[in-house]
Amino acid sequence: MKIVSSTIELNAALERPTLADLTGLVPTMGSLHEGHLSLIRLARSECSRVVVSIFVNPTQFSETRDLDAYPRQLERDAELAADAGAGVVFAPNAEDMYPDGFETWVEPSETAKGLEGKMRPGHFRGVATVCLKLFNLVAPHRAYFGWKDAQQTAVVGRMISDLNVQVTLRLGETVREPDGLALSSRNARLSADERDRAKVLPQALRAGLAAHAAHQNAKEAALAVLADDPQLEVEYVEEMTAHGHRLLCAALHIGTTRLIDNMRLEEST
């Protein structure tokens, strides 16, 4: 296991592949949890070499408060990644990724409209740009992303196809707590009371799935469940299509923490 912190070191670390090797990349922002580790294990089951990137990408945050509050724990993350099968952890700093004079961006369009793209202007421009940079740096055969961030997978998938990027997108299922809450690095910011109330998010999505199965309005059913907690600030409940699947997606604030989640509507039928 190696930890490398610059693009030059990364190239040196990647120098010895045999032609038959498959390289898998798992891009993350660190603070690794079982959701990330499931992606790393999936990558390891399919690829002889797994690179995990850990980079809290400043260009996908519009609020510096959110960026500054993002948890960082590289040493622990590196151990967890290695145990799950990572051979290289790439943890660059922002100056290495965005040196002075940086000015070239990937600007996603239709898939980046609505939902997260609407609530977080510029977010997917930062995501698409950093993903293309990571793909160019690591040259993976496969890149692993979670359904948890469904719109992100749609944006990245679109970019891969639009720009002929030589990588195959692989998707991992959302890993959840026993009460249904999707694992997220942001969950650590919830107080005990907020953490308990957060389970309403998957409950609302499940209610939406049940309504859909009964040929009723999924969005309305989910909103009705969320309305039970008047302290929640609901940003959106919307349907979207990603990779041929119809999804019910939601975003909300509990206190100062923003949570997102989605479920596939097909699973209700």
Q: Any idea which residues carry the catalytic annotation?
A: 36
CB 256: neighbour CB atoms within 10 A? 11
For position 60 contacting ligand AMP by CB under 6 A, the verdict is no
Out of 111, 129, 151, 185, the only residue in the binding site for ligand AMP (CB under 6 A) is 185
Out of 117, 146, 202, 208, the only residue in the binding site for ligand AMP (CB under 6 A) is 146
CB of 255 to ligand AMP, least distance (A): 19
For position 53 contacting ligand AMP by CB under 6 A, the verdict is no
What is the C-alpha end-to-end distance of the chain, expressed in Å?
Answer: 44
Q: Tokens 């940079």: give the residue.
A: 133
Distance in angstroms (rounded) separating the CA atoms of residues 195 and 120: 23
**Phi and psi angles of residue 205, each rounded to the nearest 5 degrees, phi first:** -65, -40
CB of 68 to ligand AMP, least distance (A): 16
Closest CA to 178 of 195, 162, 163, 154: 195
Binding residues for ligand AMP, total number by CB under 6 A: 17
Out of 89, 112, 183, 248, the only residue in the binding site for ligand AMP (CB under 6 A) is 183
* Closest residue to ligand AMP using C-beta atoms: 35
**Do 33 and 41 contact (CB within 8 A), yes or no?**
no
Q: Tokens 């957060």: give the residue.
A: 198
Out of 4, 10, 25, 36, the only residue in the binding site for ligand AMP (CB under 6 A) is 36
For position 140 contacting ligand AMP by CB under 6 A, the verdict is no
Distance in angstroms (rounded) separating the CA atoms of residues 60 and 52: 19
DSSP 186: G
- Smaller CB separation from ligand AMP, 135 or 145: 145
Out of 112, 182, 198, 201, the only residue in the binding site for ligand AMP (CB under 6 A) is 182
- Smaller CB separation from ligand AMP, 38 or 257: 38
Q: In sequence order, what are the beta bridge partners of 156? A: none
Subset of 99-138 contacting ligand AMP (CB under 6 A): none
Closest CA to 19 of 49, 41, 39: 49
CB of 151 to ligand AMP, least distance (A): 10
**Phi and psi angles of residue 113, each rounded to the nearest 5 degrees, phi first:** -85, 150
The binding site for ligand AMP (CB under 6 A) comprises 28-29, 35-36, 38-39, 145-146, 148-149, 172, 174-175, 182-185
